[in-house]
Amino acid sequence: MPFTVSDLTQDNPPLVSTKPDTLVMDALALMNAHDFSQLPVVSQDGVVLGILTNETILSAASKLRAPLEKLRVLDAFSNKAKEFRKDADLFELLDTMRDHYAVLIVDRDRRLQGIVTNYDTTAYFRRSAEDMMLVKDIEDLLKDFIQKSFTNQKGEVDEVKLDRAVQRITDSSESQRKTFIKALKQYLGRSGIAAGQVVLDDNLAEEIYHRIYDRKMTPKSFDDLTMYDYIQLFLDKKRWHRYQRAFSLDRQVILQLLDKVRLLRNALAHFQGDLTEEERESLRFISGWLNRHQLELDRFFVTDAGIQSEVDLEPGEIVDGEKFAVEEELGPDESRYAALAMWLQNQPPELDQVRLKFEQIEAIIKGELPESALNHRSWWGNDTVSHVQSQLWVEAGWRVGEVAMNAQKVRFTRIKERERAYISFFSKLVDEIRSSQTMPVETSSPRGQNYQHLTWTRFAGPRALIFVVAFAAGKRVRVELYIDTRDRTFNKAIFDQLKESRVQIESDFDESFSWERLDSRRACRIAIYRKGSITDEPDTLDDISGWALDLMPRFYQAVNEPARRALQDVTGRELS
């Protein structure tokens, strides 16, 4: 079995126990001195008799109606303690601890070997998780270091050059070919038939090798490499001179250091036992050592071009006189990191990269980052499977490009593939709506945002009533009227007047309208939603486009005139 009870007890402090004839007050003093809430009770020769706890002491004092000073441990312990051997299944112990705060570990003669509490089990799994996080921190640092040497003056990774380097590191076909031909020559040389009679035709041998072995495999991507591959890429002799300016140690010394991390990682991944405290401390040291060199490497690699440093933008900032129509209210059940994803989504399309201090992120999410975010790079990984926070910012079209743990900063980079997908989707949709001539289309070319303005009514210059198609949070798509006169009072009054005509406006629609007053925001919205994401399959995206192509003109015809009348009534201004 991969996990046994012994995994929980190897780092436990020396055993502390008590005996039946000990006074309860002395046992309590022992418990207080060690900050224990229980003590194992053993006989003179160390055989387990039971367990003494705060609860059993209070129960005995109550039922015996005796002062604590008069009670002995014999009067107050419970003989119903659960016992386990060190080689027992750990998960059987965990099942037992759902009903028991502590269990006793004994040998075959029931002599006490240890005690396991709920705190011990929590600390064990926390320690195991931290071990993997330390390894992941080191791996992520290596990935950052590697990408620095493939980064151009704009701060963008040259994916073509990186892929070539990856292929060269991972391609074993050349060495396999040489081994095949060498083996073939040895066979022929030692064969009684061929010895001295057959000369190897290198071209024919090459042809046979490729016919048998040369199966074109899908090249590995950078993110799918092994720890061994990352180490080889980082220490590649062709590029090591660029790193050597920041590292004073010899390349071979660093290889040995990182190889130790690789071996520890493999042991953890294959459940080959818990790390010792010395091994754990080595991981902490290597992680900190690499983090310190990250700042040194920044001096030699240009990565800051095009990055707006230490950003102070507010969500929905006005850019070029126009307000982004993306304001949404966060529901009570939404992750607090949704505010960060929304903030990133609201950044102007011209901004491809943005650097934030951890304290600025805390201001955006209106709360403190967890301890793991402050101490472990792996918390910032672009994990779309198990990390809620990264699922949200990736869905918003951004990824973490770099984390500087010592400087407490993170760089977010816009996902260009996502940007191109938005441009492709909205370009096609705009052309089809314009060709259908079912509603006016005044928009310019799509710019890669998650939404597209189609037409609008202006108020005092800027757009005020905007008809939009948008990919929203929660993998939804919507058509909407976005109401924003730049005056909160006007916006809410227009919305309220429109909502009074709700029945009439919705009368020709089978879909449900979403009336979003957005009380915590300046703007308001009326929308119709469906499921969908820009990352959906092409057939699904075609369905979404067809849905919007059919719905938006009808939505515009139903809402536009009532909205214009409400705008005129509320502001007292004639509209052209």
pLDDT tens digits, 189-236: 776 654 455 566 777 776 776 666 655 556 678 888 889 999 999 999
pLDDT tens digits, 52-82: 998 999 999 989 988 888 899 999 998 888 8
**For the chain, which residues make up each domain, given as ranges?**
6-122, 126-297, 307-414, 418-571
Q: Looking at residue 96, what is its pLDDT?
A: 84
Q: Looking at residue 556, what is its pLDDT?
A: 96
Q: Which residue has the higher pLDDT, 153 or 346?
A: 346
Rounded CA gap, 377 and 406, in Å?
A: 11
Whole-structure pTM value: 0.63
At 552, the pLDDT band (50, 70, 90 cuts) reads very high
At 306, the pLDDT band (50, 70, 90 cuts) reads very low
Q: Looking at residue 203, what is its pLDDT?
A: 72
Q: What is the CATH number of domain 6-122?
A: 3.10.580.10
* CA dihedral sign of residues 435, 439, 442, 446: negative
Closest CA to 146 of 240, 246, 254, 252: 240
**Mean pLDDT within 1-16:** 71
Q: Is 6-122's fold the same as 418-571's?
A: no
**Mean pLDDT within 292-302:** 75
Rounded CA gap, 407 and 310, in Å?
A: 12
Pairing of strands 409-414, 398-404: antiparallel
Rounded CA gap, 115 and 31, in Å?
A: 14
- 274-288, 405-419, 477-491, range with greatest mean pLDDT: 477-491
**Mean pLDDT within 426-447:** 90
**Mean pLDDT within 236-240:** 87
Q: Looking at residue 52, what is its pLDDT?
A: 93
| Mean pLDDT over each residue of the chain, to the nearest integer | 84
**Residue 174: how many CB atoms within 10 A of its CB?**
9
Is 307 a residue whose pLDDT tops 70? no
3-state secondary structure 523-563: CEEEEEEEECCCCCCHHHHHHHHHHHHHHHHHHHHHHHHHH
pLDDT tens digits, 441-457: 988 778 888 999 999 99
pLDDT tens digits, 86-113: 888 878 888 888 888 888 888 888 998 8
Q: Looking at residue 471, what is its pLDDT?
A: 94
Q: Looking at residue 317, what is its pLDDT?
A: 41
| DSSP codes joined into one string, 45-111 | TSBEEEEEEHHHHHHHHHHHT--GGG-BHHHH-BS---EE-TTSBHHHHHHHTTT-SEEEEE-TT-B
At 548, the pLDDT band (50, 70, 90 cuts) reads very high
What is the helix, strand, coil percentage profile of the chain, to 5? 50, 15, 35
**Taking the CA of residue 335 as centre, how many other CA atoms within 13 Å lie in the half-sphere pointing to its CB?**
15
Report the amino acid identity of residue 306. G
> With b meaning 16 or more CB within 10 Å and e meaning fewer, what string describes 291-305?
bebbeebbeebebee
**Mean pLDDT within 288-312:** 65
pLDDT tens digits, 467-494: 999 999 888 999 999 999 999 999 999 9
Q: Which range is least confidently modeled, 4-8, 314-318, 546-550?
A: 314-318
Residues 105, 51 contacting (CB under 8 angstroms)? no
At 319, the pLDDT band (50, 70, 90 cuts) reads very low
**What percentage of the chain carries pLDDT values higher than 70?**
86
Q: Looking at residue 314, what is its pLDDT?
A: 45
Q: Looking at residue 156, what is its pLDDT?
A: 73
Is 309 a residue whose pLDDT tops 70? no
Residue 320, Cα to own-chain centre: how many angstroms?
34
At 305, the pLDDT band (50, 70, 90 cuts) reads very low
Residues 6 or more apart in contact with residue 13 via CB below 8 angstroms: none
Residues 6 or more apart in contact with residue 268 via CB below 8 angstroms: 128, 131, 132, 135, 275
Report the amino acid identity of residue 170. T
- 200-204, 268-272, 350-354, 536-540, range with greatest mean pLDDT: 536-540
**Mean pLDDT within 174-200:** 66
Q: Looking at residue 323, what is its pLDDT?
A: 45
Rounded CA gap, 500 and 505, in Å?
A: 10
Q: Looking at residue 310, what is its pLDDT?
A: 44
Domain spanning 418-571: CATH 3.30.1460: yes
At 549, the pLDDT band (50, 70, 90 cuts) reads very high
Helices 202-213 and 173-190 pack at an angle, to 10 degrees, of 120
Rounded CA gap, 323 and 310, in Å?
A: 22
